[in-house]
């Protein structure tokens, strides 16, 4: 429960009042399913004495995820970044690959780490997803692929990106780290492009502590990815493919199986929080809540608000006020991957091609949501924002 009611600026912690919450409210607080069920599975793992290397829990997890997403293959991994790297390598991408800058930096890192140049294309400022027209502008003779990101769980422009890929003979894959349970045109994400990559990190709405997966309907690709995940081993003593160690461990799969059973509740709770924020922030000048595509399901993983120039407070002032109240709001993914040192050094003028990315990066705030939100927290957080946004400093 919040400790106070916010009625005026005098009630704000930045002005010396006690914070609204005793304990920090995190963006990305893990959702933890049925503890007893998880512990039963852990005991089973210990009894089995099979801790990793494609054990029974991972196999069950892969089968359940594939069924849940309606896709032929799910290859579970130790985290989303390694899953991206392995997928990129299995697709034999090289040269340049087009990605948004407006994403977590891992999307670009997974390419750059393998000597591939991430070329940043701009986004649609309304959806925050790659703008297909901007993708077209970034194609060069060195381009071999496109990685679309379903940012904030909202499906990317899948059909348009696929059309561009087909036209230019490029490979298309998706970073679906935010999109577990989201849909595109009525179909569950996980089946689009050559493959899709999920993150099941602790901070994701569905988590396996750390974890990730590549999903695909392509048998040969799935087979190559399975080999690459386990050093290229095909049986004992026989390596038939270059590879690395991308394996998910049994305890992570146990967490995943448990959380999968409770995922519907997480989504319902997050939908409720999103609706409550939308209504509580509706009349605050200069503040808008990013709406989810009403035509599709969303993972409801993030609550994203935008602070317009017309607002009486800046985005950074609002974030500072929230943090003083113990509301650890974030500015994901400010300032954009193109402004992070490795990529700024590589492309010092990338911003010229990314006006929408730069515009959005200055506006966003990500607010806490998830199962651990205390009662009345959404209203109090919205009140803090409302008071900040109605007073010029």
In the complex with ligand T4K, which residue's Cβ is closer, 81 or 369? 81
- Segment (H or E) for 267: helix 263-280
Q: Contacts with ligand T4K in 147-166 (CB under 6 A)?
A: 149
Among 122, 175, 250, 325, contact with ligand T4K (rule: CB under 6 A):
175
CB of 252 to ligand T4K, least distance (A): 11
**CA Rg value for the chain:** 22
Q: Minimal distance in Å, beta carbon 232 to ligand T4K?
A: 22
Question: Judged by CB under 6 A, which of 161, 177, 276, 337 binds ligand T4K?
Answer: 177
Tokens of 263: 């995922």
Nearest CA to 6 among 369, 377, 314? 377
In total, the chain counts a number of residues equal to: 393
**Residues between 314 and 343 that touch ligand T4K (CB under 6 A):** 328, 332
Minimum Å gap between C-beta 368 and ligand T4K is: 9
Q: How far is CA 256 from the centre of its chain?
A: 17
Binders in 90-119 for ligand T4K, by CB under 6 A = 103-104, 106-107
Q: How far is the CB of 337 from ligand T4K (least distance, A)?
A: 10
**Chosen residue from 38, 55, 79, 90 binding ligand T4K by CB under 6 A:** 79
**How many residues bind ligand T4K, per CB under 6 A?**
23
Question: For 209-313, where are the E strands, in sequence order?
Answer: 212-216, 287-289, 303-307
Q: Is 388 in contact with 318 (CB distance < 8 Å)?
A: yes
268-271 long-range Cβ contacts below 8 angstroms, 24+ apart = 269/369, 269/370, 269/371, 269/373, 270/205, 270/299, 270/300, 270/301, 270/303, 270/369, 270/370, 271/300
Distance (Å) of CA 216 to CA 93, 192, 196 = 17, 8, 7
x/- mask, ligand T4K, residues 23-62, rule CB under 6 A, reads ---xxxxx--------------------------------
**Does 228 help bind ligand T4K (rule: CB under 6 A)?**
no
Nearer to ligand T4K, 202 or 260 (CB): 202
Q: Which residue is nearest to ligand T4K (CB)?
A: 80
- Using CB under 6 A, list all residues that contact ligand T4K: 26-30, 79-81, 103-104, 106-107, 149, 175, 177-178, 199, 201-203, 212, 328, 332
């Amino acid at each position: 429960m919040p400790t106070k009611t916010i009625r005026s600026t005098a009630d704000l912690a930045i002005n010396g009042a006690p914070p609204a919450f005793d304990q920090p409210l995190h963006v990305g607080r893990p959702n933890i399913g049925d503890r007893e069920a998880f512990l039963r599975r852990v005991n089973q793992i210990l009894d089995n004495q099979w801790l990793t290397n494609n054990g029974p829990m991972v196999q069950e997890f892969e089968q359940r995820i594939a069924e849940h997403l309606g896709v032929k293959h799910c290859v579970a991994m130790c985290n989303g970044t390694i899953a991206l790297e392995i997928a990129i390598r299995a697709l034999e991408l090289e040269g340049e690959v087009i990605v948004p800058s407006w994403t977590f930096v891992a999307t670009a890192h997974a390419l750059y780490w393998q000597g591939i140049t991430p070329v940043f294309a701009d986004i649609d400022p309304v959806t925050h997803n790659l703008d297909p027209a901007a993708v077209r502008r970034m194609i060069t003779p060195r381009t071999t692929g496109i990685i679309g990101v379903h940012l904030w769980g909202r499906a990317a422009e899948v059909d348009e990106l696929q059309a561009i890929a087909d036209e230019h003979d490029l490979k298309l894959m998706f970073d679906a780290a935010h999109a577990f349970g989201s849909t595109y045109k009525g179909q569950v994400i996980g089946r689009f492009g050559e493959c899709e990559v999920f993150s099941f990190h602790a901070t994701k709405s569905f988590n396996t502590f750390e974890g990730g997966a590549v999903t695909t309907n392509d048998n040969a690709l799935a087979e190559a990815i399975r080999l690459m995940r386990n050093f290229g081993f095909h049986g004992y003593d026989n390596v038939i493919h270059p590879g690395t160690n991308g394996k998910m461990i049994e305890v992570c799969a146990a967490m995943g199986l448990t959380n999968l059973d409770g995922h519907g509740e997480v989504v319902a709770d997050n939908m409720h929080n999103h609706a409550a924020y939308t209504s509580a922030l509706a009349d605050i000048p200069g503040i808008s809540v990013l709406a989810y595509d009403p035509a599709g399901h969303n993972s409801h993983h993030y609550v994203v608000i935008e602070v317009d120039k017309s607002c009486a407070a800046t985005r950074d002032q609002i974030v500072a006020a929230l943090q003083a109240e113990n509301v650890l709001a974030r500015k994901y993914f400010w300032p954009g991957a193109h402004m992070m040192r490795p990529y700024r050094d590589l492309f010092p003028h990338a911003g010229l091609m990314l006006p929408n990315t730069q515009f959005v990066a200055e506006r966003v705030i990500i607010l806490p949501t998830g199962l651990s939100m205390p009662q009345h927290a959404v209203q109090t957080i919205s009140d803090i924002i409302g008071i900040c946004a109605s007073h010029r400093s």
